[in-house]
Structure 1
Amino acid sequence: MCGIAGLVSPSLPIDSLKATATAMAQAIEHRGPDAMGVWVEQEQKLAFSHRRLSIQDLSESGAQPMHSHSKRYTIAFNGEIYNFLEIKKPLIDAGFEFRGHSDTEVLLCAIEHWGLEQTIAKAKGMFAIALWDSQTKVLTLIRDRIGEKPLYYGVINGSFVFGSELKAIFAHTPAKALTLNKVAIASFLRHGYISAPNSVFVEVKKLSPGCRIDINLAKQSDWSIANLTPQPYWTVAQSANQPYLYTEQNQSEAISALDEKINKVINEQSIADVPLGAFLSGGIDSTVVSAVLQANTSTAIDTFTIGFEEKSFNEAEFAKEIAKHLGTKHHEHYVNQQDILELVNILPRVYDEPFADASQLPTILVNRFARSELTVCLSGDGGDELFAGYNRYVFTEAVLKKAAALPAVFKSILKALITSVAPGKWDKLYQALNSIAKRKGGAEFGNKLYKMVSLADAKSKAAAYEYLMSYWQQPEQVLKAFNGELAMQSPLSLEDDFINAAMAWDQQWYLPGDNLTKTDRASMAASLELRAPLLDIELIDFAWTVSPELKVRDGKSKWLLREVLYKYVPKELIERPKMGFSVPISQWIRTDLSAWVDELLDKEFIEKQGIFNYAPIQHALLEHRSGSYDHGKKLWTLLMFQAWFKTNIIDG
């Protein structure tokens, strides 16, 4: 894993160009602490810089930026091409002689032999690439299909800049000198992340997953960001629109095929010249990955779990039992509330763009813990989005079906009855009834009731899912002078096939914008390479050939993936309610983080800042602290923006 950066700056002297490229690389040293390389093309005033985390070919022959054998191409590459050995064989047959055994060199030789388009079509992996063609004078940026590796680019003061993180661009131009993007901020308030192609700044864009951008430096005259148009080479829709090959009629074939593909992918992704292990949370996805990796390894693999003292969201005991069954060398590290709270102040540096998925906190911890033992880890990311693992898929469809069957008058009465009582009071009532019945539960009951009412009230399935995926449903209430449109369409129609379309929406927006952003920044902050076998393009394509009834059955998610897992792990070690990787952020906002909250949501600070309306923020905070409503996620988005603003704009 690595970090890349670079710029084209016609007005800069060569020495200044090289110094700037060097500074951009140094800003992302954590992505590649092993080595740094800088290359300058003097005629076009183009510079590439690269930070190296050595994984494949630890020798100098794997160093970057790297030139092709003919010297026509120069590349700065962040990521891994997992099937590089498969690609390499026909290149050897064609007469290519390799200097080393890195996937970067294979990539360059493939581009020389087949061209960029065919090479990317053949390549399976995670990547962000900057490629210079000295013959055509074209600079190309390209990002992997699903968005595992990030890539920012922009036009600032006549220079074209790019980098793996905004930190690299800040080394060219400080954040406080850039223009905040109101549309991006509104998107962040709604979803808790900023989806591509937007970034938090007007002058900077994110290259969308599955896209490339080509810039002819010999012809480029207008360096306006509006004139740089990325083109897709792959879309979620083209994968999702495949016909079903696996249904209930041949479900045993589906189980065998998925098992075979997971084994193939994990074997490909296990190639490394450094120690490799796996995260094991105890959930289905990480257990599948760990189980298959162990089954294909002659010695005990290293598995890693973070445990929490708060039992309500601690899965470490389950992970330990699974590790014992698999025979892994298991590492667990228990953290307390204070360990997590101490991370709050570093979040704006780790995530150098506003980001508000609170599971970012334990994610940072587990990546740090794993890095203390090794350099590469496999994760279970992607299982939910490919095999219908989120409870919201089944829950939403069930609510919408029941709501459609109810007369409008009855729905209105039910809505009035439920919303006449605050969610916090519904929680207390439910907890009291459970106490009488000697059952546990009751947390979030009121919120679930309110959520059901809102879903039932939605004008369409698309509107219902957009609501479900939103924190501030109406960002214009809190964001000053914003009246823009924020609709994020699914590649499939939510009205026709809800569960499939919801998965497609998540693969297009939520997965790259939230989950993969979270894991990339957390792992790279620890200089750990994180690989997600379940997001291999073979598995993505395969998952879309599986009919929904093999993904959700009898109200249970991930049926097909579970069936594969039961080949490796007894059912009793797996079957339990989904917990997720969360922290009690709502509670902490009321208690341990209270002083920090008051500082960031201070009326004078907000009014001087001039971005938000204070009244709705104050209202949400008062309701939350009283316990009548849980606005934890809403407030966390604001707190993450304010912390980011203070760190990057005010303090710089």
Structure 2
Amino acid sequence: MCGITGIFDLRERRPINRALLEAMNQTQFHRGPDEGGVHCEPGVGLAHRRLSIIDLSSGQQPLFNEDESVVVTYNGEIYNFIELTRDLEQAGHRFHTHCDTEVIVHAWEEWGEACVERFRGMFAFGLWDRNRQTLFLARDRLGIKPLYYSLLPDGHLLFASELKALMAHPDLPRALDPRAIEDYFAYGYVPEPRSIFSAVHKLPPAHRLSLRHGQRDLPPPRVYWEVPFDALPPLDETTAVRELVERLREAVQVRQVAEVPLGAFLSGGIDSSAVVAMMAGLSRNPVRTCSIAFADPAYDESRYAQQVAQRYQTDHYQEQVDSDDFALLDRLGELYDEPFADSSALPTYRVCELARRKVVVALSGDGGDENLAGYRRYRHHLGEDCLRRPLPLGLRRPLFGALANLYPKADWAPRVFRAKATFQALARDSVEGYFQGVSILRDDLRARLFSPDFRRELQGYNAVDLLREHAARAPVNDSLSLVQYLDLKTYLPGDILTKVDRASMAHALEVRVPILDHPLVEWISGLPPTLKIRDGEGKYLLKKAMEPYLPNDVLYRRKKGFSVPVAEWFRGPLQGRLREQVLGERIADSGLFDVDHLAHLIDQHVSAARDHSPALWSLLMFDGFLKRLDVSPEA
């Protein structure tokens, strides 16, 4: 795994500032501490930081074709590179290394922009073709690897793996995007294609972008792949179980190619446990596994990880994290560059830290919940949609909206008496209903959070608009597939994969995600919803498939996830810090928030009258982002 950086003169062929490009590249040293490389020619500069995984003795980047007319800087792994090498050699191409990087330059020569459609793996790269005078940027299908880009006012385009590399350029405009701020306080992250800065974009997953000298404006990125959700031919459950195991095993197998120590995360959940089970069946040696235990038993799942480790006799490493492990708060702003409010980033950082002491490559179970419908919110959404279906929206919205306004809020009461939330859900359409379920702060809470001036600046934009855009393009025809599609486009790349990429690369650890193997994703998307959720059981087919491989209490239990006791922290050891930061000058001077309301939120939370921990954590992380801006170069 690596870090990439580039500068491209969109308008002319002006000399590239090599020293500046090298400085941008060095901000990503953590992504590739083994080697660094820079290539500059008139109008183009490419730079690279390398973490050596395959072909350790060669494969340095930027890497060229035979006549050095094509050069690439690349971050990722292409798992079918041996097959592609064979095909390209038969077509007359000559290879000088045994690494997957060289496949990219020859694949570009042979197939042009369509080369990405042949790659199986995770990748983000920038490729310069001198003969075609074209810069080509591309990102993998699911968004496992990141790619930021920005067109400066002077016509120079910057791109990099992380936003911090672009921020090292003194001319990068730093005006905040109001829509990104609205998105952040709704989702807890800034979803693609936006970034926190108006002038910076993320190349969306499964998109490519071609640029040439002489252009005045950026063309829009173009999509090259879609999660199909094409119904599979009818198959019985036994056949589906067998095929799922075969496909998962093969996806794991192709990700075990490495010339460095390799292992796996093992949380005790079904996804990581399934990956470890497949690895154990494919390896002659014990699998190295790593997990985190929590001192507080309310958050600890380590005994389930131990069960799987003992069953497969893995070489298991476990460390305990204290319940008050919040020493990383300042580090999070450095890692994520943008505001990022997923508190599980803390234990994710710790498990990556542990894993890197034992391995250089780790397989993870990420993607199972989105693909196989593991989130509880999917079941809740299906239940709400069943209630919505009999009545048209034009009737439901005024009827249940009025009932929701009349019914008192009762968060303290048992769920059966919390009718207000149910009435509110029934007054919405399916997309809006799901949005309210995944939002960390509902519409009314965000409205009170923001200042009147900032609400006017939004000009009516609401974060639900993003989901509506994706829903309008969704190739689905049922409620479950729709919300899975929405998560695959937003939550998976924006939160889950971002969290793991930054936490792992902070330790120069490569993480591979077999459940996000795109042929596997395509096949799973075509399964009928009844094989994903049945009788209120999520991941139905995966659990059935893993019954011969995993203990029942790993398969059929309520998973806790990587949660941390944020609410308790804010009433205890972090209370002083919370008041200091959320009610401090940076937040107040930003002009974005109603400061009196922020004080009200803190008082209510500290007194235990309400749990406002999601809002307060989001504000704390936003202040950490503003603090980082204070020490960055001025625009």
TM-score, scaled to structure 1: 0.89
Partners of 1:451 and 1:68 lie apart in 2 by 64
Bigger mean CA deviation after superposition, 275-284 or 605-614: 605-614
Q: Is residue 54 of structure 2 the alignment partner of residue 73 of structure 1?
A: no
Aligned length: 615
Partners of 1:343 and 1:179 lie apart in 2 by 27
SS of the equivalent of 2:490 reads: helix
Q: CA deviation at 1:455?
A: 5.1
Q: Which residue of 2 aligns with 1:520?
A: 501
Q: CA deviation at 1:476?
A: 4.3
Q: Contact 2:384–2:426 (CA<8 Å) still a contact in 1?
A: no
Q: CA deviation at 1:315?
A: 0.7
Bigger mean CA deviation after superposition, 604-613 or 290-299: 604-613
Q: 1:483 to 1:13 in 2, by over 3 A?
A: closer
Q: Is residue 174 of structure 2 the alignment partner of residue 178 of structure 1?
A: yes
Q: What percent of counterpart residues are identical? A: 36
SS of the equivalent of 1:180 reads: coil
One-letter amino acid of the counterpart of residue 40, structure 2? V
Partners of 2:623 and 2:170 lie apart in 1 by 21
Q: CA deviation at 1:318?
A: 0.8
Partners of 2:129 and 2:385 lie apart in 1 by 53
Unpaired stretches in structure 1, ≥5 consecutive residues: 431-444
- Structure 1 segments, 4+ long, off by >4 Å, are 9-14, 402-418, 492-496
Q: Which of 456, 464, 470 matches 2:433?
A: 464
Q: Is residue 223 of structure 2 the alignment partner of residue 232 of structure 1?
A: yes
Q: 1:348 to 1:46 in 2, by over 3 A?
A: same
Q: Which of 405, 419, 423 matches 2:408?
A: 419
TM-score, scaled to structure 2: 0.92
RMSD: 2.5
SS of the equivalent of 1:228 reads: coil
Q: Which of 235, 243, 249 matches 2:231?
A: 243
Q: Which of 596, 611, 622 matches 1:615?
A: 596
After superposition, where does 1:534-549 map in structure 2 within 5 Å?
534-549=515-530
Q: 1:418 to 1:88 in 2, by over 3 A?
A: same
Q: Contact 2:269–2:554 (CA<8 Å) still a contact in 1?
A: no
SS of the equivalent of 1:314 reads: coil
After superposition, where does 1:183-198 map in structure 2 within 5 Å?
183-198=179-194
Q: Contact 1:7–1:21 (CA<8 Å) still a contact in 2?
A: yes
Q: Contact 1:154–1:203 (CA<8 Å) still a contact in 2?
A: yes
Partners of 2:566 and 2:164 lie apart in 1 by 27
Q: CA deviation at 1:131?
A: 0.6
Q: Which of 573, 586, 611 matches 1:630?
A: 611
Q: Is residue 98 of structure 2 the alignment partner of residue 101 of structure 1?
A: yes
After superposition, where does 1:3-402 map in structure 2 within 5 Å?
3-9=3-9, 14=15, 17-42=17-42, 45-59=43-57, 61-117=58-114, 119-158=115-154, 159-173=156-170, 178-217=174-213, 219-220=214-215, 222=216, 224=217, 227-236=218-227, 239-240=228-229, 242-246=230-234, 250-338=236-324, 340-402=325-387
Q: 1:13 to 1:361 in 2, by over 3 A?
A: same
Q: Contact 2:401–2:423 (CA<8 Å) still a contact in 1?
A: no
SS of the equivalent of 1:543 reads: helix
SS of the equivalent of 2:374 reads: coil
SS of the equivalent of 2:549 reads: coil
Partners of 1:450 and 1:69 lie apart in 2 by 69
Q: CA deviation at 1:494?
A: 11
Bigger mean CA deviation after superposition, 322-331 or 83-92: 83-92
SS of the equivalent of 1:638 reads: helix
Q: CA deviation at 1:402?
A: 4.4
Q: 1:417 to 1:400 in 2, by over 3 A?
A: farther
Q: CA deviation at 1:404?
A: 6.3
Q: CA deviation at 1:621?
A: 2.3
Partners of 1:108 and 1:147 lie apart in 2 by 21
Q: 1:97 to 1:137 in 2, by over 3 A?
A: closer
Q: Contact 1:476–1:482 (CA<8 Å) still a contact in 2?
A: no
Partners of 1:413 and 1:646 lie apart in 2 by 43
SS of the equivalent of 1:363 reads: helix
Unpaired stretches in structure 2, ≥5 consecutive residues: none
One-letter amino acid of the counterpart of residue 51, structure 1? R
Q: CA deviation at 1:617?
A: 2.2
Q: CA deviation at 1:583?
A: 0.8
Partners of 1:209 and 1:402 lie apart in 2 by 34
Q: CA deviation at 1:398?
A: 1.6
One-letter amino acid of the counterpart of residue 111, structure 2? W
Partners of 1:614 and 1:501 lie apart in 2 by 38
Give CA-to-partner distance per residue, 1:330-374, whole Å, 9 cap, x none: 111111023x21011111001111111111111110001100111
Partners of 1:67 and 1:495 lie apart in 2 by 42
SS of the equivalent of 1:311 reads: coil
